[in-house]
Structure 1
């Protein structure tokens, strides 16, 4: 089986490459804006790399040429920074997704496994679980969510227009792993957040509110879900998350902190102010998503894909916090460890 992966150098892409390296019958083409250096180690060293700016219309024909003869495409490429440049993000995320789809059609590739998200769902309950039939109209105050929903709508139209397409969508919770520690710090926390406090293994204060309940999943378990989707003929959407649901009281109890009850209005104001003053790189839309999206029922993935996470949500968060505290990363440009310069940029 020959697989092409867009965004193969990122958080999920790195975990998927690790997983696919154990499958002797799978060959991988990696497509990224910034490819790893030729001397990068595992899991990047067994991949045929091609550089592409997916948001550029000029990528379409070269991309179609690269996809000729592949059995499936895993579309992971998604840009979340710089968050103050909305047009640039839409260029990559919306136009890029359209270009990948059109290149697939031009290359006669019919199978697509798309990286969707819990963020594609409309606001919903935090005290019960929803299945994949919940509306996928996104959360209006989050650019990330709006764009994820727009790409799913695009895929709906493509499936209607091209019945040969077989699209599988993995709607994941937050994807965590130790190797993403430095990347997540750069993308979400910024240089002013005192991540060194995490070296003690404690989180002194955690906000608590009934709407602040989120689902996460370890990147290795997500990679297993992608492999199962690739080897299956199943299509449609699958919710992917681990138990338990993380909230203020659970996290505080686990990491020896205090769950501080705070009103959403105050938290929203603080988040907005921190982003607008550029103290943190993550925009206020991420806060809106975390408080608005529903909790997912993942039983379809278990029932039909045979997928169950091996690591629970607490373990996934513990792994990430360790990576944040130490500035962990890998040999790919977006996943580089703390203190390492951007380095090689593929032409």
Structure 2
């Protein structure tokens, strides 16, 4: 079975290509944006998707295309999100035939905010950011395409491997880890009893492998904890328990549990009082808090088709791995802000 994995330098793509390459049934080829470097893995082809014609080696035919190439940056405007996530998707679809199974990695947030979640923005057609908007548009493109067999896979926030916490890059939730440890985040904007969905990257890859083998039929798969989902308070407790044990072993002071401030209260009371007094670094931290609002105030967990068990264990393993890889950041003295409760 010939399988093409796009975006194989990314968190999900690298993990998925590694897993698929271990199976002798699969002949795997990877694409990356930059000039590929030998790493002992499957063949790798450099391709700037959406901006260049595909190299001859990528023109197939392919039994399966696993499309993971994307930008997950929440601050993209529509033009940036179109180039990063829609143009690249169209380029991948152009490599498929009527006999290709197309496995498209979307996001669990592609339905947009619910009526009690953080509100959407009109410039993104009701979605909360350019990332969610582009992923929702991508799903429509896939389902409307002429690909013979497609499946859409929706992961939530992605952390490291379940057993070790290992992950190829620290993005998304890891920026919140750093902000909490440093004290740059004066609070978490969200709801203490709201839900935070996370999944380990190795289980995301395993779900994609399953989808490679199972007829798609246009279905949508959701990777999530569902009824076992962590609340925001439980997520923070799992992180702080682990990071503070790591810090205790090294003689560092513990990171305090941050205030959890409701989004409307943060925007109406706290932010207007302090904005004009913020340093550039503190301003970036407040922008970060606003970006996380959509993912720390969910009123309902997702309904999974690939359930994630014990997400607190995933948070703990990921925290330990992060701290071991960036010990100076993880051990940084926490310099908190003074805030009214």
Taking structure 1 as the reference length, the TM-score comes to 0.70
Cα distance in 1 between the residues matched to 2:173 and 2:190: 25
SS at match of 2:44: strand
What does residue 90 of structure 2 align with? 98
Alignment of 1:131-210 (within 5 A): 139-158=126-145, 162=146, 165-177=148-160, 178-180=165-167, 182-184=169-171, 188=175, 193=179, 195=181, 209=191
Offset of residue 165 of structure 1: 1.9
Selected match of 2:80 from 68, 77, 88: 88
Is 1:287 matched with 2:270? no
- Kept in 1, the 8 Å contact 2:76–2:129? The answer is no
1:65-113 per-residue CA deviation (whole Å, 9 max, x = no partner) reads 51413211000000134936653332121111111112324xx652100
- Kept in 1, the 8 Å contact 2:71–2:131? The answer is no
What does residue 321 of structure 1 align with? 319
- Kept in 1, the 8 Å contact 2:5–2:66? The answer is yes
Offset of residue 12 of structure 1: 1.1
Offset of residue 281 of structure 1: 8.0
Cα distance in 2 between the residues matched to 1:95 and 1:283: 29
- Kept in 2, the 8 Å contact 1:54–1:96? The answer is yes
Check 1:138–1:321 CA distance in 2 against 1; reply closer, same or farther (3 A cut).
Answer: farther
Cα distance in 2 between the residues matched to 1:81 and 1:66: 27
Alignment RMSD (CA, Å): 3.8
Cα distance in 2 between the residues matched to 1:118 and 1:207: 20
Check 1:291–1:308 CA distance in 2 against 1; reply closer, same or farther (3 A cut).
Answer: closer
Cα distance in 1 between the residues matched to 2:196 and 2:173: 21
Offset of residue 275 of structure 1: 9.2
- Kept in 1, the 8 Å contact 2:112–2:128? The answer is no
Selected match of 1:116 from 100, 106, 130: 106
Cα distance in 1 between the residues matched to 2:281 and 2:125: 21
SS at match of 1:228: helix
Cα distance in 2 between the residues matched to 1:280 and 1:48: 42
Offset of residue 24 of structure 1: 1.4
SS at match of 1:123: coil
Report the more deviating stretch, 140-149 or 282-291. 282-291
Offset of residue 32 of structure 1: 1.2
- Kept in 2, the 8 Å contact 1:55–1:96? The answer is yes
Cα distance in 2 between the residues matched to 1:32 and 1:217: 24
1:179-233 per-residue CA deviation (whole Å, 9 max, x = no partner) reads 337432798459x736479xxxxx9976661573121111111111111110111
- Kept in 1, the 8 Å contact 2:156–2:223? The answer is yes
Check 1:228–1:196 CA distance in 2 against 1; reply closer, same or farther (3 A cut).
Answer: same
What does residue 229 of structure 2 align with? 245
- Kept in 1, the 8 Å contact 2:190–2:293? The answer is no
Report the more deviating stretch, 7-16 or 74-83. 74-83
SS at match of 2:133: helix
Check 1:53–1:186 CA distance in 2 against 1; reply closer, same or farther (3 A cut).
Answer: farther
Check 1:265–1:171 CA distance in 2 against 1; reply closer, same or farther (3 A cut).
Answer: same
Offset of residue 308 of structure 1: 4.8
Offset of residue 266 of structure 1: 4.2
Greater relative contact order (Cα < 8 A, sep 6+): 1
Cα distance in 2 between the residues matched to 1:280 and 1:3: 42
